[in-house]
Amino acid sequence: MNSNTISYQLARGITLAILALVVCLTAATAHATPASTLPTAPVHRISTNGAAPAGGLTGPAELEAFLDDLLTRQLAERHIPGATVAVVQDGQLLFANGYGYANLDQRTPVVADHTLFRIGSVSKLFTWTAVLQLVEQGKLDLNADVNTYLADFQIPATYPAPITLTHLLTHTAGFEDWQLGITVSSAGGLLPLGTYLAREMPARVSPPGTVTAYSNYGATLAGYIVERVSGQPFEQYMQQHILQPLDMRHSTFAQQLPPDLAAQLAVSYAYDDTYHAKPFEYFQIAPAGGLSATATDIAQFMIAHLQNGRLGGSRILQAATVQDMHLQHFTNDPHVNGMTYGFAEMTLNGQRLLMHPGTTNDEVFSSLLALLPEHKVGLFVSYTRWPPPRSKKLEHCSPPRSR
């Protein structure tokens, strides 16, 4: 959730280490694999040098063995206490596992369907989904001046063109951005969203729609507009209209977690020859980074997006809306990847990915959500420390075989 540069480096590092493997697996038959309850993953070598087979993996068992080996190595080599991962394909949970410890002092293992991680800016994808729900209902217009939806403060007319929700969704509103003050150390320090946004309004430094400039403020403003237009507190709206329909029972935007979920939350750690537990931080910008969730709950969200807004009998968006959300809506140059409505585009091994990284602020969780819509594949991974550097192990991995 830090700068756009840090987020991109984070995303590419994890993606090259794990997601290329999933690209190799897209021809495999999907089936659900139960989440492990072991505190550390078993080490399974799948070749003598620890690399993926040059021809790609042949099924979920090899995926499990490879990820067990890779994640276990990462935790040991980079002094990361815990991690969680989920892979989905064709509407099903293909693989989920927890690695290491959620709490070192208590020796509590990470369990993929039980342990909550703080997913930072991956939370924005949920906020953008909420915005598009209200667009479908005719309550929001993507091309209207955002000031239309604000009463207690207004965005100044620094430039002739107004800022719209489209600009917020594509990070092209032109706000400057900063990290100071976006989290506080106690619940008592939290301000109502509207109060915070009015008090901490950044300068407009470029005309809207001209350049990508990552904005936590813009995403928080979008969440506040959801709150105003829906008539519900942001947290309540998200619970009722996204988390509950997707059966995400172990997830919440609440900054004061309910006692049962608080007991399941992983601890984040710094490391300098010894581990130091980082205190819980309260997100003033909850719509931009405040979701706590399990890997298997995030899997539900990925499946819904890969199935045009549907999960089982529930639907969070219409198919046409999801398809439009996943299209490119801005790029700084036609020759490079750009922004969809909320997702960043990335190309890996000739495959188009839709992704969003997330890091927390004083805590040091690091996460990534990535989708391969063409192959109905999604990956979520989260660490309790900032992740390992770029790995070259998988760069030889072949593109997926045709079905």
Is residue 394 in a domain? no
95 and 35 in a single domain? The answer is: yes
Asked if the model's pLDDT at residue 2 lies above 50, the reply is no
Is residue 396 in a domain? no
218 and 285 in a single domain? The answer is: no
- 82 backbone dihedrals φ, ψ, rounded to 5°: -155, 155
For 52-105, write each residue's pLDDT tens digit: 444 455 567 788 888 888 889 889 998 999 999 999 999 999 999 999 999 999
Is residue 390 in a domain? no
Total count of domains within the chain: 2
Name the region of 349 (left: φ>0; alpha: ψ -120 to 50; beta: rest): left
Q: Residues 330-339: what's their mean pLDDT? A: 95
Asked if the model's pLDDT at residue 234 lies above 70, the reply is yes
In Å, how far from its chain's centre is CA 110?
A: 19
Pair 193, 149: CB distance under 8 Å: no
Pair 214, 7: CB distance under 8 Å: yes
In the 3-class helix/strand/coil scheme, how is the chain assigned residue by residue? CCCHHHHHHHHHHHHHHHHHHHHHHCCCCCCCCCCCCCCCCCCCCCCCCCCCCCCCCCCHHHHHHHHHHHHHHHHHHHCCCEEEEEEEECCEEEEEEEEEEEECCCCEECCCCCCEEECHHHHHHHHHHHHHHHHHCCCCCCCCEHHHHCCCCCCCCCCCCCCEHHHHHCCCCCECCCCCCCEECCHHHCCCHHHHHHHCCCCECCCCCCCCCCCHHHHHHHHHHHHHHHCCCHHHHHHHHHHCCCCCCCCECCCCCCHHHHCCECCCEEECCCEEECCCCEECCHHHHCCEECHHHHHHHHHHHHCCCEECCEECCCHHHHHHHCCCCECCCCCCCCECCCCEEEEECCEEEEEEEEECCCCCCEEEEEEEHHHCEEEEEEECCCCCCCCCCCCCCCCCCCC
pTM of the complete model: 0.87
98 and 194 in a single domain? The answer is: no
Q: Residues 157-169: what's their mean pLDDT? A: 98
Query: Residue 6: its pLDDT value, please?
Result: 42
73 and 160 in a single domain? The answer is: no
Is residue 59 in a domain? yes
Domain interval for residue 44: 4-120+265-383
55 and 95 in a single domain? The answer is: yes
Is residue 388 in a domain? no
Asked if the model's pLDDT at residue 246 lies above 70, the reply is yes
312 and 342 in a single domain? The answer is: yes
For 105-122, write each residue's pLDDT tens digit: 999 999 999 999 999 999
For 13-23, write each residue's pLDDT tens digit: 455 555 555 55
Is residue 393 in a domain? no
Domain harbouring 61, CATH code: 3.40.710.10
Query: Residue 33: its pLDDT value, please?
Result: 39
41 and 107 in a single domain? The answer is: yes
